[in-house]
Amino acid sequence: MVVNKLKVLFLAVLMLVGVSALSFAWTLDQGVGFKAAPQVMQGNAVADDNITDDNVTQPQPLPTEPTPKELTGDEIANAPVIVGSVATGGKEMQLAVNFPPYEDAVDIYVGIMTPDGTLYLVNSNKELTPSSDGLVAFATNTTDAISETIFSFSVCNPFGLSIQEGTYNVYSVVVPAGTDISSMDWSSDPYILTYYSFEVNEGNCE
């Protein structure tokens, strides 16, 4: 199936650039799944402070070849996908995007992957959807800068962590508009892949 092929392709390219055992365990205590995205809350300084006009540059050209990049250290604070203070041991989990403008129209995918290899994408309605429901882009045929918060919530409740403890990974893919990512050649076609990981444990709630 096309969906299965896509998952294999994503796994192959991520393994190619050095990502082994991607983990994005997002299981809430009450068993709420990915479709039940937490309610947006305002005012998280880590993500909101990074979504500013200072980060909007001149329109960027897409590369002519595969461009994967793992973000580390200070790069994470200005990543295309920002997760808030949880990435540095805080309590707030936020999913916010901060993409520059592009010279030519692009399609943008924002994805997360669980330890079992299930791929989830953020659709244009800002919902987390499993790839089995369809291959959806976050934005299509756009040249505009995009900086907005999708959702935000606390990873802690009165009993401790409200999400699963462990290593989380988040990534984004930017491709020329109209690219069929289920059949593209990840070894030669142009794209920008960015990714990074962070840890969540009981220390986030202390």
In tens, the pLDDT along 16-49 reads 433 333 333 332 222 223 333 333 333 333 334 4
Q: In the predicted model, what is the mean pLDDT of residues 149-173?
A: 82
- Bridge partners of residue 67, in order along the sequence: 192
Give the model's pLDDT for residue 116. 67
For residue range 162-180, what is the model confidence (pLDDT) as tens digits? 777 778 888 899 999 999 9
| pLDDT value, residue 26 | 33
Burial class (CB in 10 A: 0-12, 13-18, 19+), 98: buried
Give, in order, the Cα–Cα distances in Å from 46 to each of 32, 94, 98. 25, 9, 13
Give the mean pLDDT of 112-124: 77
Q: Is the pLDDT of residue 128 over 90?
A: no
2 versus 98: the higher-pLDDT residue is 98
